[in-house]
Chains A and B, each alone.
Chain A
Amino acid sequence: MAFQSLDVINRSASTSTPPQARGALEVAKLIDISKCIGCKACQSACMEWNDLRDEVGVNPGHYDNPADLTAQSWTVMRFYEEELPADKGLAWLIVKDGCLHCAEPGCLKACPAPGAIVQYANGIVDFQQDQCIGCGYCQTGCPFNIPRYSMKDQKAYKCTLCSDRVSVGLEPACVKTCPTGALAFGTKTDMKDLAGERLVELKARGFEKAALYDPSGVGGTHVLFVLPHGDPELYRLPKDPRVSPLVALWRSGVAKTLGVLTMVSVVVAGFFHYMKVGPIEVDEDHKENPS
């Protein structure tokens, strides 16, 4: 890993604040669904670079192959046949599924193992499997249902945004291999500008509802989508994703402090009660012969 400790701006289950000195440029991957042809070259490149080999599965009767994300498949092309609203006809929507690298990652919030999930100053959220204890809490934290649990080693896996490549100035493997330019990689500002230009083109071509997907509920993401038909739900993307309020409550400073205070107050109350009241003792001699 070519990242330095200075690059880690957020660290799971840590009591100290990670270094905030480095103000790196935030990066982003832009997935332009209107340019995607569903060739799955990105899936192959991901396997190739990350040395992943999923088990050969079965054909479930649709184009999704493998059928779902797994600990060995960190990105999957999903194919949806969608009847568009307002009689716009049938559309074949192809969505590259994988980690969106949230600015406020729910996985990191839920993780109880110090340093098992880190966030770099450039926005990449990375699992550190050597610190992972296999509890699966990252899955409860993620609003996008991304982390996958390996039964082989009881650890969680997901897209790293090729943090190893990015740290040495290369684009992610999937971006490098995309033959149509549906994938682009750069600073988040540049990617938003690029998306803005594309949205103008799309709107001129009749995709009036075309929109950029950069959901604010998770502080924005470092994987952006250009959605030609606009509505995220057509693409099975959550409209307003946020970390579940249950997870937010469970992992909040308030709940943790309340828990610790509860424990402390039981001990303190017991101590002072004893010191004030003293023990209840039964006088054997006095009560032995009541009659």
Chain B
Amino acid sequence: MMPAMRMPPGQEVVPRYSTGERLTHWAVAVAYVALFLSGLALFHPFFYWTSALFGGAAFMRVLHPFLGVALFVLFYAYALRLWRDNIMTDSDKKWMGQMVAYMNKAADPYVDGKYNAGQKLMYWSMIVVIAGLFLTGIVLWRPYFAPSFSLGARRFAAVLHAGLAFVMFVGIGVHVYAAYWTKGSMRAMTRGTVSGAWARFHHPGWYARMTGKERP
């Protein structure tokens, strides 16, 4: 049974994301999937077939950087609303120390903020990686910007762009899995609310501040 997924009437819910935040999040997600599939075709011939999803590789190559700009703009619009909740605190260090145990359900380290340290780490790594992908992508962008950069810069950008893309894949992979693993999380992004029990268990400090109730 997954009680957190379906709430009986009158059950306590805590708002976690606004409609604007949720829609922006999903727009970023859609852009990411399209970017990842098109980038993969350019990285390894084994995946060249994904270019068929974009109406051929020549058009896919044209589309990819525009999608990248869309993701960049949407992601930072989204991330800007979240940064205060992602500042690392002392309790996050403790969480980091117990991370492996937490992943094995052997420990339940206290989380004070709206996000735990793992989520915060994800946030800041995406801040860096997406900026890096954007900048290196500009250097490679044909036909508009690439001619203004030296061959050396374009070579460096090509390697870095591919490297960062794989860091992003790992990051997003962990992010998606974590949302699936911790039942009751997904509704935060589909409905905007989480159950009171979910909030008390995963983010007790945040729950207390949101509801004015005492910390469980």
Say yes or no: is A44 at the interface (Cβ < 8 Å to chain B). Answer: no
Knowing A247-B155, A284-B195, the reply to whether A154 touches B169 (Cβ < 8 A) is no
Q: Which A9-59 residues have C-beta < 8 A from chain B?
A: 13-15
Contact B181 A274 (CB under 8 A): yes
Contact B170 A136 (CB under 8 A): no
Contact of A133 among B12, B58, B184 (CB under 8 A): B58
Say yes or no: is A237 at the interface (Cβ < 8 Å to chain B). Answer: no
What distance in Å separates the Cβ of A89 from its nearest Cβ neighbour in chain B? Answer: 34
Say yes or no: is B84 at the interface (Cβ < 8 Å to chain A). Answer: no
* B residues less than 8 Å from A149 (CB atoms): 142-143, 147
Instruction: Specify the chain B residue showing the minimal Cβ separation from A257.
Output: B44
Contact A287 B57 (CB under 8 A): no
* A residues less than 8 Å from B184 (CB atoms): 281-282
What distance in Å separates the Cβ of A223 from its nearest Cβ neighbour in chain B? Answer: 20
Instruction: Specify the chain B residue showing the minimal Cβ separation from A276.
Output: B104
* A residues less than 8 Å from B46 (CB atoms): 15, 260
Instruction: Specify the chain A residue showing the minimal Cβ separation from B198.
Output: A282
Say yes or no: is B3 at the interface (Cβ < 8 Å to chain A). Answer: yes
* A residues less than 8 Å from B11 (CB atoms): 284, 288
Instruction: Specify the chain B residue showing the minimal Cβ separation from A16.
Output: B45
Residues 131-166 of chain B, each 1 if its beta carbon lies under 8 Å from chain A, else 0: 000000000101100110001101110110010001
What distance in Å separates the Cβ of B19 from its nearest Cβ neighbour in chain A? Answer: 24
Contact A134 B142 (CB under 8 A): yes
Q: Which A235-270 residues have C-beta < 8 A from chain B?
A: 244, 246-247, 249-250, 255-256, 259-260, 262-263, 266-267, 270
CA distance A250 to B198 in the complex (A): 44
* B residues less than 8 Å from A136 (CB atoms): 140, 142-143, 146, 154
Contact A288 B197 (CB under 8 A): yes
Residues 41-68 of chain B, each 1 if its beta carbon lies under 8 Å from chain A, else 0: 1111110100000000110111000000
Say yes or no: is A285 at the interface (Cβ < 8 Å to chain B). Answer: yes
What distance in Å separates the Cβ of A67 from its nearest Cβ neighbour in chain B? Answer: 15
What distance in Å separates the Cβ of A109 from its nearest Cβ neighbour in chain B? Answer: 12
Contact A266 B195 (CB under 8 A): no
* B residues less than 8 Å from A250 (CB atoms): 155, 158-159, 162
Q: Which of A137-145, A160-168, A203-211 contacts B (4 or more CB under 8 A)?
A: A137-145
* A residues less than 8 Å from B3 (CB atoms): 281-285
What distance in Å separates the Cβ of B162 from its nearest Cβ neighbour in chain A? Answer: 6
Knowing A114-B48, A282-B198, the reply to whether A266 touches B170 (Cβ < 8 A) is yes
CA distance A16 to B88 in the complex (A): 49
Contact A277 B104 (CB under 8 A): yes
Contact A256 B43 (CB under 8 A): yes
Residues 195-211 of chain B, each 1 if its beta carbon lies under 8 Å from chain A, else 0: 11110111000000000
Say yes or no: is A60 at the interface (Cβ < 8 Å to chain B). Answer: no
Say yes or no: is A279 at the interface (Cβ < 8 Å to chain B). Answer: yes
Contact of A134 among B61, B104, B166, B173 (CB under 8 A): B61
What distance in Å separates the Cβ of A10 from its nearest Cβ neighbour in chain B? Answer: 13
Contact of B182 among A139, A266, A280 (CB under 8 A): A280
Residues 69-100 of chain A, each 1 if its beta carbon lies under 8 Å from chain B, else 0: 00000000000000000000000000000000
Contact B42 A112 (CB under 8 A): yes
What distance in Å separates the Cβ of B174 from its nearest Cβ neighbour in chain A? Answer: 7
Instruction: Specify the chain A residue showing the minimal Cβ separation from B42.
Output: A112
Say yes or no: is A135 at the interface (Cβ < 8 Å to chain B). Answer: yes
Contact B162 A255 (CB under 8 A): yes
* A residues less than 8 Å from B151 (CB atoms): 139-140, 145
Say yes or no: is A290 at the interface (Cβ < 8 Å to chain B). Answer: yes
CA distance A290 to B152 in the complex (A): 63
What distance in Å separates the Cβ of A11 from its nearest Cβ neighbour in chain B? Answer: 10
* B residues less than 8 Å from A112 (CB atoms): 41-43, 45, 48
Q: Which A93-134 residues have C-beta < 8 A from chain B?
A: 110, 112-114, 132-134
Could you show 28 A-B contacts with beta carbons less than 8 Å apart?
A13-B45, A13-B48, A15-B46, A112-B41, A133-B60, A136-B140, A136-B146, A137-B158, A140-B158, A154-B143, A249-B159, A259-B43, A262-B169, A266-B170, A270-B173, A277-B103, A277-B181, A279-B181, A280-B182, A281-B2, A281-B183, A282-B195, A282-B197, A284-B7, A284-B11, A287-B197, A287-B201, A288-B197
Interface residues, chain A, with chain B CB atoms under 8 Å away: 13-15, 110, 112-114, 132-137, 139-140, 145, 149, 151, 154, 244, 246-247, 249-250, 255-256, 259-260, 262-263, 266-267, 270, 273-274, 277-285, 287-288, 290
Pick the 4 closest A-B CB pairs, nearest first.
Answer: A284-B3, A266-B173, A13-B45, A270-B177
